[in-house]
Amino acid sequence: MLQPLTPADLDALKLRLVRHLEGQVVAPNTPGRALKALQTVARVLRNRLDLPGEPKFQSIRGRNPTFSSNVLAVDGMLDVLLIFGFSKKVVDFEETYFVPGATDTERLLVQFLLPTLPELIEKLEAKLAKPPPESEKSQGSIRRREEVLAKIAEDRLARIERDRRLAVKREADRQAEERRKQAQQQAAERAVQHSANPPPVTTAAQAGTASGGMAAASAGADQHTGESDAALAARLLRRFSAFPSGMRREFLLLLLKSCDPSDMQYLGKVLPVLHRDFIARLPRNVSQRILMYVRPCDLAISAQVSRMWHSIVSEEALWTRLYGLIGLQSMADVFFQPQKSVKANAKRLSSMGHWAHGHFTYRAFRAHSLGVLTMAFDSKHVVTGSIDRTCRVFLLKTGQCIRTLVGHEGGVYAAQFDSDKVGGHASLL
């Protein structure tokens, strides 16, 4: 409870409040933050004076979000509350601030000091309303922004110019390609015309006399006119074989364009003959005999050609023959598993073929005193884990044990290499 205050005490408190607000509240905080704090305190005190009997205006909780963020979190505001006569107590395990005004002395103090807050609030509002002068730093930011915008505009213009040049180049290339194709087509047409109408051949005997020459020319013309279609076709085929590949394609295209609907219908019947599925048409034993010469890695690809090919490749008789080629025909029923995919069986067949042909070798060495539960390996090492609670590291080429890892309380059931250790060397987890 405050003691009675003299006019001198009130003047001293007011001076102290003004200095504290200007030096400890307004100076270290932003104008907006200080303005919110002063407005909140003024509103709380005004409600206490206007409605002294209202319980909700007599105290305020410390964790009230508005009071906590706007007042308690602002530098210097706790001392302002003490000057006004706020008291803090713990009520129900929670900090509570009691607003002054319960006694006449407290009400007198608040009424005397409260006008100080609106005056400072008006100054802060005027300061916020006035636009800040452009400092050298802000002017520098504006210049940098203008430079960046100018650079962006330059890059945009350069990109547009680059795209225009690229479009011009593409159009020039397209026109050149069209001229090249037209030249090839014209050359093919000239070749066809030359083949159909070859120039007459003049011999020395025909050039002897005028009458004899005219008689020979007349005979050659009659011979060319009476030439059979078969002979003309044969001559065209011979000339066609001598054409370059590009000219042959152009010649075929010209032929297709000159065909009538009946010719195109005939081609539709003839062309499928070139795409016969011989594996499906041949007897099964002949198809299997052909597939026996396919590598195991290609059998999985062959099974994807069609359903018919898949059914033929999946037959057990074919795999029996394939295992017979590597001398394991008696074990075909063990290694071939029909329930698995063709790719898995082909991989197993390839592996067994390497063992059968001696491409793989094995090395036996004593690893543990008890059974081996797990194994891991890389290009240089083999690691084994055993029920004897140890791990051993062996060199893959020689089988030499270079390290024994101990410390497990039970059997080692899993081992794995980790290449993310320091130095990039594989380490055992």
Query: CA 97 → CA 52, 122, 255, 326, 383, distances in Å?
Result: 16, 26, 103, 94, 71
Cα 305 from chain centroid (whole Å): 31
For residue 225, what pLDDT is reported? 44
Cβ contact 20:80 at 8 Å: yes
Chain position carrying tokens 């979000």: 65
Residues with Cβ within 8 Å of residue 134, at least 6 apart in sequence = 142
Q: Taking the model in full, what pTM does it have? A: 0.33
Chain position carrying tokens 């010649």: 251
Cβ contact 100:106 at 8 Å: yes
What is the band of 217 on the pLDDT scale with cuts at 50, 70, 90? Answer: very low
For residue 273, what pLDDT is reported? 64
Q: Is 111 helix (H, G, I), strand (E, B) or coil?
A: helix
Cα 75 to Cα 24: distance, rounded to the nearest angstrom: 7
> What are the pLDDT digits (tens) for 24-40?
888 888 888 888 888 89
Identify which of 52-56, 159-163, 241-245 has the greatest average pLDDT: 159-163
For residue 2, what pLDDT is reported? 55
The arithmetic mean of pLDDT across residues 365-378, rounded, is: 84
For residue 342, what pLDDT is reported? 82
For residue 250, what pLDDT is reported? 86
Residue 195 has pLDDT above 70, yes or no: no
The arithmetic mean of pLDDT across residues 320-328, rounded, is: 81
Tokens standing for residue 421? 């250790």
The overall longest dimension of the chain from CA atoms, in Å, is 159
Cα 402 to Cα 392: distance, rounded to the nearest angstrom: 8
> What are the pLDDT digits (tens) for 91-126?
888 888 888 888 888 888 888 888 888 888 888 888
CATH 1.20.58.2190 fits 7-129, yes or no: yes
CA dihedral 141, 142, 146, 148 (to 10 degrees): 20
Select the more confidently predicted residue: 163 or 421. 163
For residue 183, what pLDDT is reported? 83
End-to-end CA distance of the chain: 72
Residue 198 has pLDDT above 60, yes or no: no
For residue 199, what pLDDT is reported? 53
Beta-bridged to residue 376, according to DSSP, are 383
For residue 221, what pLDDT is reported? 40
Tokens standing for residue 287? 């198809």
For residue 219, what pLDDT is reported? 41
For residue 200, what pLDDT is reported? 53
Domain-wise residue ranges, the chain: 7-129, 148-195+230-275, 294-356, 372-428
Q: Which of 410, 378, 408 is nearest to 393 (CA)?
A: 378
Select the more confidently predicted residue: 206 or 272. 272
For residue 261, what pLDDT is reported? 83
Select the more confidently predicted residue: 217 or 349. 349
Cα 171 to Cα 175: distance, rounded to the nearest angstrom: 6
The H or E element containing residue 401 is strand 401-405
Tokens standing for residue 151? 């650079």
Q: How many residues does the chain have?
A: 429
Q: DSSP string spanning 242-311? A: HS-HHHHHHHHHHHHHH--HHHHHHHHHHGGGGG--HHHHS-HHHHHHHHTTS-HHHHHHHTTS-HHHHH
Cα 254 to Cα 97: distance, rounded to the nearest angstrom: 101
